[in-house]
Structure 1
Amino acid sequence: MRIVFVGLFAALSYVVFTFLQIKLYVGGDATSFHLGNAVVAIGALLLGGFWGGLGGAIGMTIGDLLDPVYVVYAPKTFLCKLLIGLVTGLVGHKVLHISAETDRKALVFKTIAASVCGLGINIIADPGLGYIYKRLILGKSAADAIFKLNLLTTSVNAALSVVVTVLVYLAVRGPLKKAGLLPKIGR
């Protein structure tokens, strides 16, 4: 069953990233506003960090591979999105134990905290790895300019993704649990 959910989150992250984005071009490079990271964080909260992160990483990497502007960034995307999932899942399930939480207010707080941690790490990792990649590997001298724009879009994406993650996770957690479709994590 878990592999089905990984596939579902891969498909969802691909669709959300590819078709629901606002792309900003800087020279021959681009960055974008999107909610693909929210899908990764939701997957991590529902499936656990590795499986949710893997689904999101696969979907968003496929999105990069099919876009001529982003194709060179596919390896970085895979690592960053997997990292979002791992951190969100680690904080949510291993540190805060959201799977066992029954108090609604505590669940909201823990969901926000896990989402902020996972998406917050991406604010550092995505622009940072992107800068190193562009500067050292691709030899782009425009790395400084795109770094600032990438930092801005990544920060906005993270803030919006936290809100979406919390709202969607809290909306689907109960019905999935009631239907017996919520995997047991962190026990």
Structure 2
Amino acid sequence: MVKTGTDNRVKKLALAALFAALSYIGFQVFRFDIPVGTEKTAFHLGNTFVALGALFIGGAMGGSAGAVGLTIADLTSGYATSAPKTFILKLLIGLIVGLVAHKGFKINEIVEKKKLVLATVCSASCGLLFNIIADPLVGYFYKQYVLGLPQEISEAFAKISALTTSVNAVASVVFATVLYLALRPVLKKEGFLH
């Protein structure tokens, strides 16, 4: 017979693997590339599953899962130069969403629907607002100082990245909220949430 603690860790690990795969699919399948000079950016739904993972299994595990999934997506889709930046930023999105959701709102204990919606939207928004600011800023310095691109190209890319990151963030907050609210009762019933 499997011990309860071991069973919970296995369930959490299985969900982490699922969220890594969903983050990858969210980027690979639901992506629209925008070329910028020698580089490119994209509209995508990968961040949805980083936030969703953090809401369901916590910031560290959910953020790690999303970071792994989106880093692999970068490495396999022509965004390899962005992979290190992606890993760090996606991990931070997950950590922020998880911190706000689980430490701030104690989301797993909320039973009232309005409070749950508010907690979900606020938690996802905090992580993705961080990304709206950090992605273009980190991208600018990363492209200029690590990749050695000219300042003008790095600056142009940062401006376009700010737009795509903002659109991605809004879409991710909406989709993560809808999916979380739809899936939470099922996962709770099956013993995946504690």
TM-score interval, smaller chain = over 0.9
Structure-2 residue corresponding to 1:178: 189
Secondary structure of 1:22's counterpart equals strand
Paired AA for residue 166 in structure 1: T
RMSD over aligned Cα, in angstroms? 0.8
TM-score, L = length of structure 2: 0.92
Shift of 1:170: 0.3
d(CA) in 2 for partners of 1:181 and 1:111?
17
The residue identity in structure 1 corresponding to 2:136 is P
1:27 Cα deviation (Å)? 1.4
In structure 2, the residue matched to 1:4 is: 14
Asked if 1:150 is matched to 2:161, the reply is: yes
- Unmatched 5+ residue regions in structure 2? 1-10
The Cα shift of 1:7 comes to 0.8
Once the two structures are TM-superposed, the CA of residue 19 in structure 1 deviates from its matched residue by: 1.7
Q: How far apart are residue 67 of structure 1 and its match?
A: 2.1
What's the TM-score, normalizing by structure 1?
0.95
Please name the residue that 1:122 is paired with. 131
Residue 99 of structure 1 is matched in structure 2 by 108
How far the C-alpha of 1:155 sits from its partner, in A, is 0.5
1:178 and 1:7 map into 2 onto residues whose CA distance is: 20
1:57 aligns with 2:67: yes
Secondary structure at the counterpart of residue 77 of structure 2: coil
Instruction: Spell out the pairing of 1:36-47 with structure 2 (5 A cutoff).
Output: 36-47=46-57
Gaps of 5+ in 1: none
Residue 91 of structure 2 corresponds to residue 82 of structure 1: yes
Q: Take 2:29 and 2:75, find their aligned partners in 1: how far apart are those partners? A: 14
Matched, 1:26 2:25: no
What amino acid maps onto 1:38 in structure 2? T
2:12–2:192 Cα contact (<8 Å) kept? no
1:136 to 113, 120, 145: 145
* Structure 1 stretches of 4+ moved >3 Å: none
Hey, what's the Cα distance between the residues in 1 that align with 2:112 and 2:44? 31
1:109 aligns with 2:109: no
Paired-residue identity, %: 49
Structure whose CA Rg is larger: 2
How many equivalent residue pairs?
Answer: 182
